[in-house]
Amino acid sequence: VPGEAVAELNATYGVPPELLQTLSAEENFTFDWHGYRKAMDQHAIDSGAGQRELFQTGPLETLKEALHETPFLGYDDTESTAVVKGIISGEGGKGEDDGQLLSHLHRPADTLVRLVLNHTPFYGESGGQVGDIGVIANDDFEFVVTDTQKHAALTVHHGKLVRGEITEGAECVAKVDIPHRDALARAHSATHILHHALHQNVGRHAEQQGSKVEADRLRFDFTNPKAIPDETLVQIEKDVLTLIDDEQPISWNIVPLAEARATGAMMLFGEKYPDPCRMVSMGDFSHELCGGTHLTNTSQVKSFEVVVEESVSTGTRRIEALTGARAEEHRSETRHLLDKVADTLKCDAAHALAATVQLMEEVRRLKKEIAAGKSGVHTDKYKFQGEGPVADVQDYNSVRSSVREITRRLNVAISDVVDRLKALLADRDRLVKELKAATAGGKLSADDLISSHEQVGDTCMIVAETPGANPNVMRGWIDQIRKKMDSPTAVLLAAVQGEKVLLVGGLSRELVERGLKAGDWVGAAARAVGGGGGGRPDMAQAGGKDPSQLPAALEAARESMRQQLTV
């Protein structure tokens, strides 16, 4: 339906565009809202009057005008008969009220659609709890609900039509996925228990700042100025598990807001609550105003495992935890990971953390030795020396503490620990080979090179071949020589690596200030061995392809620097 025509009917006869949209949808016509708004804007300009938007104009707003709300049956029932009141095309992403109202739908299964019922057992995402999933069906159609959202007081079921044809007004059965609902209830009830445990162990200032409840996973943000120590986290977890084992009853009642306040029920600061309100109670230890779905006994949480404690922003911390089967699976995976670390590092699980620390320290030490050109004692393959902290593998908290410290040390996600260790082992083997090659010609040092220098005026000139040295070692020697010498220095070092020649040269600050350039000096020597290169005025690197010409190239470099220093 063209927007210009609708605008003319509205401006001339006052016909509401929503009415025409509904009539259009019944005939499976699209409705040109963009053209309508554009035409109305032009009408406002032509008439010399501004236009006011008196109402929103999407399909959900149209349904809201007629239905007002979707009564929620899900506190008591997970299955109910219902009537299809609205069929809306499109996904409606990010809460957008887009798409078209349809009288019926018969489309491929990959088409995203939204349904509105006269009432529903499906919980729409709110209060941090994600929406239910499930199925809405009758003999004529089957609609798979992949998410449930709220639009004001309406509950909107998002999903796909996988069978048949949906018709507005059709009677159907709405069935919530019970295992998914139970997993949400476990996580939501555990969130309330966690809130209580935080108050007991951290303080009453640890107030909720946000939360998200997913299937057997929860995220809880709370006020606290610093990180919670590991031992406190362990105690918080123990307190939660104790309350789970105590089999405390969980109940909810609709009570006057004043009565809820009198019981000390927790309320979020700045949040507006209805009066009367829904209060969820757990034994005598927790009373909170909450609209989410919950268990009937704390024992139904089954298990609880803190997996993350981190900063969200200044003064706000976040805990992420698992419940039910996911918590048990995580415990098993944590133990298995420690075994995999031990297997990777060829040690027992009790020493996995110590072996990780030793490997990291050895890699750092190797890099320093290569830079300094001095080699320590290293085996060809990594071997744990048997020193360091020992975990009690029979105690899960000790196992978990070791795994957490390993991930902190490696600075990787828990899923990347083994790959990171394998990469470190490969780095270590490569560095050992590099160090052996660099020191293959003997224990050469910066002092040895200084002893072979030639004095040219006030300058210490060193031009030498350093067998087996790599660029890092050469640069390290040059830096050491410049620091050790009080006089200006010019250093050019060379090494043959296979069929290639490597050259590194450096000049002290005094020579650079006189206009000399290391890049020019090294570049000339490189050309003599069939190569090229350059760099900064104080440090340069080059390479060549003809090792047989290296002696002549070094002599030419000496003569070139003598001439530059005696000008």
Residues 534-555 have pLDDT tens digits of: 788 999 999 899 999 999 999 9
Q: How confident is the model at residue 1 (pLDDT cuts 50, 70, 90)?
A: confident
- Identify which has the larger pLDDT, 114 or 45: 114
Residues 4-19 pLDDT 10s: 888 888 877 778 887 8
- Provide the 3-class DSSP secondary structure of residue 149: strand
Backbone φ and ψ for 122, nearest 5 degrees, come out as: -80, 130
pLDDT for 286 equals 94
CB 543 within 8 A of CB 504: no
pLDDT for 75 equals 95
Least-confidence region, from 33-42, 47-56, 178-187, 526-535? 47-56
Given a cut of 60, is residue 55 above it in pLDDT?
Answer: no
pLDDT for 299 equals 97
Q: How confident is the model at residue 214 (pLDDT cuts 50, 70, 90)?
A: very high
Cis amide leading into 71 (omega within 30): no
> Tokens for 486?
């009080």
Q: What is the mean pLDDT of residues 363-367?
A: 90
pLDDT for 28 equals 64
Residues 470-529 pLDDT 10s: 888 888 899 999 999 999 999 999 998 778 899 999 999 999 999 999 999 999 999 999
Q: How confident is the model at residue 442 (pLDDT cuts 50, 70, 90)?
A: low
**All structural domains of the chain:** 3-57 (no CATH), 62-176 (2.40.30.130), 181-327 (3.30.980.10), 346-438 (no CATH), 446-565 (3.10.310.40)
Q: How confident is the model at residue 49 (pLDDT cuts 50, 70, 90)?
A: very low
Residues 162-180 pLDDT 10s: 999 999 999 999 999 999 9
Model pTM score: 0.69
The secondary structure of 40-88 as a DSSP string is HHHHHHHHT------S--SHHHHHHHHH----B-TTT-SEEEEEEEEEE
Q: What type of residue sits at position 551?
A: P
Going by C-beta distance under 8 Å and a sequence separation of 6 or more, which residues neighbour residue 200?
239
Candidates 515, 435, 449, 524; CA nearest to 485 is 449
> Tokens for 41?
């804007």
Helix and strand tally (H, E) in the chain? Answer: 16, 22
Instruction: Compute the mean pLDDT over every residue in the chain, rounded to the nearest whole number.
Output: 89
The secondary structure of 333-372 as a DSSP string is HHHHHHHHHHHHHTS-GGGHHHHHHHHHHHHHHHHHHHHH
Given a cut of 60, is residue 269 above it in pLDDT?
Answer: no
**C-alpha to C-alpha distances, 219 to 66, 81, 125, 154, nearest whole angstrom:** 37, 34, 15, 26
Q: How confident is the model at residue 112 (pLDDT cuts 50, 70, 90)?
A: confident
Q: How confident is the model at residue 52 (pLDDT cuts 50, 70, 90)?
A: very low
Q: How confident is the model at residue 467 (pLDDT cuts 50, 70, 90)?
A: confident
Backbone φ and ψ for 440, nearest 5 degrees, come out as: -65, -30
Q: How confident is the model at residue 187 (pLDDT cuts 50, 70, 90)?
A: very high
